[in-house]
């Protein structure tokens, strides 16, 4: 798009704004504070570099466009086929469109087209990740807006774009992803999956922009004590503790900072305190409660096996033993199904599985990841026979995920999860597929033929092109079409998928 068409009315617009006072107005939900990045808010579009029309809203009156100056990561609104009195402005949101501020309101003085000044999409100084839309109104008519979208800054490929959309759920006040804090016991598991997905995406594409989340979240909570008496990232639920331990293993892998490895060790030690002999072994789900669930134990395998490959000496063997012993227990329990999937809950009174809750994708995903780590451990020790045995076990569990027409893959070859039948994008089930695609990626990288990569890429391509993605690169609950969303859980799973397929 040529910039000249936005220059022609520049002097007229500035004069009109000064005369009418219709420059920057208060927002719908938050007070406006001017942002200066490369340029400051309210810059004339005549100073734009490369521009792109990101979305268009056609009405019976004016046609409304949101236009981005990609050179400077700024946006402005235009009205085309416009008449005197038509009003245009931009809304800017720093939380993915849940709240916004209204900027640059201006009224067409009688030209055929009109536009606002330019405003920064992001607030780099305050690490706020933004979205924009343009809105317009004809006198006597209703308000119409484009979709929320953004510049391609930090969104130049599908993984980075999804990571940027993920960051719109990061709460700068609590230094956690939006839905992941409970005052009684601290950071919860959804935020852990979101953080791991972000870390693994940063590693996949080498995007540095959001790595600050790692230290910011860690430093905020590492020594904090909660109402339940627990502190840091260890709480009364063994699975929450396990998810956060995996975050710090991922953070250690990305940064090499040993304090993250120490946090993962602390998580593993805390999880070990949940061990009981009921039904032959394993760990309980909640402190001081006898119940046992699959996910706590598959995470215990994953965390300990991962640590075994990241520490030395006798500690490595101890972590290996915890992982292997728990695997040997799990595979012999009633939780293990003949189709290589897992029931969710063990009735500790009868030691039989409860069949009222179906298997979920994250059961298989976490156990695949743990088995891959055990295989790596034995391969590094030179015991190829045992390493291959664990890798074969991992492939069997991975195949149960990718089986077409099975519980976890539909008849067209696209991943699904039973929880999609009742949960939405802010509930537990939305996060489940993140662990499944991670497990598939990890086992795939251990096999020279890369047998699971086509599956991951097909799912990523489907999610990206099927309509399950909006203009802001937010994703739906299902990857085959837009069903529910957006929300943090759906975004975390989609980001994990895109990073795994990269």
pLDDT tens, residue by residue, 379-416: 999 999 999 999 999 999 999 999 999 999 999 999 99
Question: What is the SS3 string spanning 280-317?
Answer: HCCECCECCCCCEEHHHHHHHHHHHHHHHCCCCHHHHH
In this prediction, residues 208-225 reach a mean pLDDT of: 96
pLDDT score, position 252: 99
Name the burial class of residue 139, with classes exposed (0-12), middle (13-18) and buried (19+) by CB atoms within 10 angstroms of its CB. Answer: exposed
Check if the beta carbon of residue 451 is closer than 8 Å to that of residue 459.
Answer: no
pLDDT tens per residue across span 252-263: 999 999 999 999
Q: What is the CATH number of domain 158-501?
A: 1.50.10.20
d(CA 96, CA 123): 14
CA dihedral 77, 79, 80, 84 (to 10 degrees): -150
Q: Where are the domains of the chain?
A: 4-145, 158-501
Spatial CA neighbour of 105 closest among 92, 124, 93: 92
pLDDT tens digits, 137-148: 999 899 999 999
Residue 8 pLDDT more than 50? no
Enter the tokens of residue 110: 């009688």
Which tokens sit at 245? 């331990």
Mean pLDDT for all residues in the chain: 92
Residue-wise pLDDT tens digits, 71-117: 999 999 999 988 899 999 999 999 999 999 999 999 999 878 999 99
The pLDDT of residue 485 is 87
Q: Which residues pair with 342 in a beta bridge?
A: 336
The answer for residues whose C-beta is within 8 angstroms of residue 116's C-beta and 6 or more apart is 76, 77, 78, 88, 89, 90, 103, 104, 105, 106, 134
The per-residue pLDDT for range 466-492, each reduced to its tens digit, is 999 999 999 999 999 999 889 999 999
Longest dimension (CA), the chain: 81
């Amino acid at each position: 798009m040529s910039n000249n068409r936005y220059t022609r009315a520049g002097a007229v617009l500035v004069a009109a704004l000064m005369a009418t006072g219709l420059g920057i107005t208060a927002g719908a939900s938050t007070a406006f504070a001017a942002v200066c990045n490369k340029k400051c808010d309210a810059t004339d579009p005549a100073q734009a570099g490369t521009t792109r029309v990101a979305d268009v809203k056609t009405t019976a009156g004016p046609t409304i466009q949101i236009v981005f100056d990609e050179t400077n990561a700024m946006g402005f609104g235009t009205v085309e086929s416009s008449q005197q009195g038509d009003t245009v402005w931009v809304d800017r949101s720093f939380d993915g469109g849940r709240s916004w501020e209204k900027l640059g309101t201006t009224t067409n003085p009688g030209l055929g087209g009109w536009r606002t000044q330019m405003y920064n999409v992001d607030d780099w100084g305050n690490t706020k990740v933004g979205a924009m839309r343009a809105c317009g109104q004809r006198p006597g008519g209703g308000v119409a807006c484009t979709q929320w979208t953004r510049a391609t800054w930090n969104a130049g490929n599908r993984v980075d774009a999804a990571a940027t959309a993920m960051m719109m759920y990061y709460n700068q006040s609590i230094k956690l992803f939006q839905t992941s804090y409970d005052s009684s016991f601290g950071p919860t598991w959804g935020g852990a999956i979101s953080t791991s997905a972000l870390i693994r995406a940063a590693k996949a594409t080498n995007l540095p922009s959001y790595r600050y989340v790692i230290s910011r979240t860690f430093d905020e909570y590492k020594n904090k004590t909660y109402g339940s008496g627990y502190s840091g990232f260890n709480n009364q639920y063994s699975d929450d503790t396990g998810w956060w331990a995996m975050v710090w293993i991922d953070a250690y892998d990305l940064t090499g900072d040993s304090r993250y490895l120490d946090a993962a060790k602390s998580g593993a030690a805390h999880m070990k305190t949940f061990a009981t002999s009921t039904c032959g072994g394993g760990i309980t789900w909640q402190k001081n409660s006898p119940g046992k669930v699959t996910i706590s134990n598959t995470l215990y395998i994953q965390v300990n096996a991962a640590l075994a490959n990241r520490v030395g000496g006798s500690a490595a063997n101890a972590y290996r033993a915890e992982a292997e012993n728990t695997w040997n227990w799990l595979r012999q329990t009633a939780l293990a199904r003949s189709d290589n999937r897992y029931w969710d809950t063990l009735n500790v009174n009868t030691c039989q599985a409860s069949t009222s809750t179906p298997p979920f994708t994250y059961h298989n995903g976490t156990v695949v990841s743990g088995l891959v780590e055990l295989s790596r451990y034995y391969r590094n020790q030179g015991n190829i026979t045992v390493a291959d045995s664990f890798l074969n076990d991992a492939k069997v569990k991975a195949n149960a995920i990718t089986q077409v027409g099975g519980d976890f893959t539909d008849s067209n070859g696209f991943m699904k999860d039973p929880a999609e039948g009742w949960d939405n994008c802010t509930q537990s089930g939305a996060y489940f597929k993140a662990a499944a695609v991670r497990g598939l990626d990890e086992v795939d990288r251990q096999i020279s033929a890369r047998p699971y990569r086509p599956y991951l890429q097909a799912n990523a391509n489907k999610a990206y092109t099927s309509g399950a993605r909006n203009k802001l690169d937010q994703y739906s609950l299902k990857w085959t079409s837009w069903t529910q969303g957006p929300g943090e859980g759906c975004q975390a799973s989609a980001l994990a998928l895109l990073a795994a397929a990269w």
